[in-house]
Amino acid sequence: MARTAPSFFRRIGLAFSVLFSAERAARLQDAPEQDAQPSASAPAPAAAPQPVIVRETTPEAALQLLGLLQREARFIDFVQEDVAAYSDADIGAAARVVHEGCRKVLGEHFSIEPVRTEPEGSRITLAEGFDAAAVRLTGKVVGKPPFTGSLGHRGWRVTDTRLPKLAEGHDASVIAQAEVEL
């Protein structure tokens, strides 16, 4: 029985299922080995599919970023605070401080540029082979490229990262030390 290639969106769903399921990633990792041992009754495949390479990430960089946002903007304090009892003016004043600190962290530690340079609201055409990792299609997506639509958000791309190096033995999970006044 001939198998058809899964659609783009099905492949995206499969990629996420592999990303968030260690068991599925392990099965996929073992699959090429199983495919390499065809049974006597099964015909040999025309071409072996390329395995999906899943790499495990470590949380240190994300924890380091949270620590920087906390140090410069009190970001965690702001987000963890129950703001229901505060006035909009008080929340706005606090948000201004958090915004300023977050912007400082981004400016010091990242170079960020728009994915698309056209102004938001512009009509653009995406040719066949456009980078689907950088451009998300929304609305009624039917057919094949070229696609023409309105740019709703330019997107952002990090072009350089300048996070400080971590000392050996540093516990990155402590993103803000408790303070004890003596």
Res 54: pLDDT: 80
In the predicted model, is pLDDT for residue 36 greater than 60?
no
**Structural domain includes residue 41:** yes
| 150 shares a domain with 76 | yes
Average pLDDT over residues 17-45: 56
Res 51: pLDDT: 77
| 85 shares a domain with 150 | yes
Res 101: pLDDT: 97
In the predicted model, is pLDDT for residue 67 greater than 90?
yes
**Structural domain includes residue 3:** no
Range of the domain at 86: 60-131+144-161
pLDDT tens-digit profile of 87-109?
999 999 999 999 999 999 999 99
In the predicted model, is pLDDT for residue 132 greater than 70?
yes
- For the chain, what percent of residues have pLDDT higher than 90? 63
| 81 shares a domain with 108 | yes
> How far is 166 from 18, CA to CA, in rounded Å?
30
| 152 shares a domain with 65 | yes
Burial of 135 (0-12, 13-18, 19+ CB in 10 A): middle
For the chain, what is the mean pLDDT?
Answer: 84
| 157 shares a domain with 67 | yes
- For the chain, what percent of residues have pLDDT higher than 70? 74
Q: How many domains does the chain have?
A: 2
Res 10: pLDDT: 58
| 124 shares a domain with 75 | yes
| 154 shares a domain with 66 | yes
| 77 shares a domain with 39 | no
**Structural domain includes residue 167:** no
| 43 shares a domain with 103 | no
Least confident interval from 51-55, 79-83, 170-174, 176-180 = 51-55
**What is the pTM (predicted TM-score) of this model?**
0.64
Q: Which residues are bridge partners to 157 per DSSP? A: 113
Residue of higher predicted confidence among 156 and 12? 156
| 71 shares a domain with 48 | no
